[in-house]
Structure 1
Amino acid sequence: MSDARRVVIVGAGPAGVRAAETLVAAGVKPVVLDENARWGGQIYRQPPLQGNFRRSKKALYGFEAHKAEALHTTMAALLPHLDYRPDTLAWACEPGRLDTLHAGREISVPFSHLIIASGATDRVLPVPGWTLPGVYTLGAAQVALKAQGCAIGQRVVLAGTGPLLYLVAYQYVKAGAQVMAVLDTSPLSRQIAAAPKLARLPSTFAKGLYYVGWLTLRGVRIERDVMLTGIHGEQGEQGVSAIEWRANRAGSGTRTETLACDALGIGFGLKPETQLADLAGCRFRFDAQNRCWLPELDAAGRSSVRGIYLAGDGAGIAGADAAELAGRRAALALLDDLGIAHPRGPGMRDAATLERSLQRIGVFRAGLETAFAPPAHCASQWPDGMTVCRCEEVDAGTLRRCIRAGEANEINRLKALTRVGMGRCQGRMCGEAALTLLADETGRPLEAVGRLRSQPPVKPIPLSPALYADGVAAIPEEARDE
Structure 2
Amino acid sequence: MTAAATTSLRPVIVGAGPAGVRAAVTLAAAGLNPVLVDEAARPGGQIYRQPPAGLTRPPEALYGFEAAKARAIHTALAPYAGQIDHYTETLVWNIEHGALDLMNRDASGQPVSTVLPYDSLILATGATDRILPLPGWTRPGVYTLGGAQIALKAQGCGIGKRVVFAGTGPLLYLIAYQYAKAGATVAAVLDTAPFVNRIHALPGLLACPDTLLKGLYYTAWLSLHDVPLHSGVTLREISGPDGTVAALHWRDAKGRDRETACDGIGLGYGLRSETQLADLAGCRFAFNDLHRVWLPERDDAGRTSVAGVYVAGDGAGIAGADAAEAAGERAALALLQDRGLPVDPTRVTALDRRLARFRRFSSALWTAFPVPAGWAHDLPDSMTLCRCEEITVGTLRQTVRTDTPTELNRLKALSRIGMGRCQGRMCGVAAAEVLAHETGRPVSAIARLRPQPPIKPLPAATLPAPVSGEDTP
The one of 78, 96, 99 equivalent to 1:97 is: 99
In the alignment, residue 135 of structure 1 is paired with which amino acid?
Answer: V
Name the aligned partner's letter for residue 153 of structure 1: G
Separation in 2, partners of 1:377, 1:95: 42
Q: Distance in 2 between matches of 1:478 and 1:459?
A: 28
5 Å-filtered alignment, 1:14-413, equals 14-49=18-53, 51=54, 53-103=55-105, 104-234=111-241, 239-249=244-254, 254-342=255-343, 350-413=347-410
Mapped contact 1:132–1:234 kept (Cα < 8 A) = no
Partner residue, 2:424: 427
Equivalents in 2 of 1:478, 1:434: separation in Å? 40
CA distance in 2 between partners of 1:361 and 1:67 (Å): 17
Change (3 A) 1:114 1:181: same
User: The residue matched to 2:377 in structure 1 has which SS?
Assistant: helix
Offset of residue 479 of structure 1: 9.1
Cα distance change of structure 1 residues 426 and 234 upon mapping to structure 2, 3 Å threshold? farther
In structure 2, how many angstroms separate the alpha carbons of the residues matched to 1:361 and 1:178?
33
Of 440, 443, 448, 1:446 maps to 443
Displacement after TM superposition at 1:79 (Å): 2.6
Aligned-pair distance for 1:422? 0.4
Whether contact under 8 Å (1:128, 1:229) holds in the other structure is yes
1:69 deviates by 1.2
TM-score (norm 1): 0.93
Q: Which runs of 5+ in 2 are unaligned?
A: 106-110
Instruction: Report if aligned partners of 1:37, 1:48 keep a CA contact under 8 Å in 2.
Output: no
* SS of match in other structure, 1:379: coil
Q: Is the contact made by 1:38 and 1:48 (CA closer than 8 Å) also made in structure 2?
A: no
8 Å CA contact 1:231, 1:243 repeated in 2: yes
Looking at structure 2, the residues matched to 275 and 479 of structure 1 have their Cα atoms a distance apart, in angstroms, of 29
Alignment length, in residue pairs?
464
Q: Which moved more, 1:267-276 or 1:193-202?
A: 193-202
1:12 aligns with 2:16: yes
- The offset of 1:107, in angstroms, is 1.2
> Secondary structure of 2:326's match?
helix
> Could you list the runs of 5+ residues in structure 1 that have no partner in the other structure?
none
> In structure 2, how many angstroms separate the alpha carbons of the residues matched to 1:406 and 1:8?
44
- Residue by residue, what CA displacement relative to the aligned partner does 1:352-390 show, whole Å, maximum 9, x if unpaired? 221111001111111100000011111011100000000
- TM-score normalized by structure 2? 0.95
Question: Could you say what secondary structure the match of 1:182 adopts?
Answer: strand
Judged with a 3 Å threshold, the aligned counterparts in structure 2 of structure 1 residues 147 and 110 are, in CA distance, closer, same or farther, namely same
Give percent identity, aligned residues only. 57
Query: Is contact 1:4-1:112 (8 Å) kept?
Result: no
Q: Which amino acid in structure 2 is aligned with residue 265 of structure 1?
A: G
1:476–1:317 Cα change, 3 Å: farther
Structure 2 CA distance for aligned equivalents of residues 85 and 13 of structure 1: 13
Alpha carbons of structure 1 residues 480 and 328: separation in structure 2 relative to 1, 3 Å: farther
CA deviations over 1:185-240 (Å, ceiling 9, x no partner): 0011111111111111111111111100100000101111000000002455xx21
How big is each residue's C-alpha offset from its partner over 1:80-116, in whole Å with a ceiling of 9 and x where there is no partner?
Answer: 3210011001011112111111021111111111100
Deviation at 1:73, TM superposition (A): 1.7
Specify the code of the residue in structure 2 equivalent to 1:81: Q
- Alpha-carbon distance, 1:21 to partner: 0.7
**C-alpha contact 2:9 2:117 (8 A) present in aligned 1:** no
Residues 133, 235 of structure 1: 8 Å contact kept: no
Call closer, same or farther: CA 1:476–1:417 in 2, change over 3 Å: farther
Deviation at 1:4, TM superposition (A): 4.8
Q: Secondary structure at the match of 1:350?
A: helix
* Residue 108 of structure 2: aligned partner: none
Residue identity in the other structure for 1:80: G
1:350 to 1:385, Cα distance in 2 relative to 1, 3 A: same
Aligned mates of 1:354, 1:479 — CA distance in 2: 53
How much is the aligned-residue C-alpha RMSD, in angstroms? 1.8
- Aligned to 2:333, the other structure's residue is in SS state helix
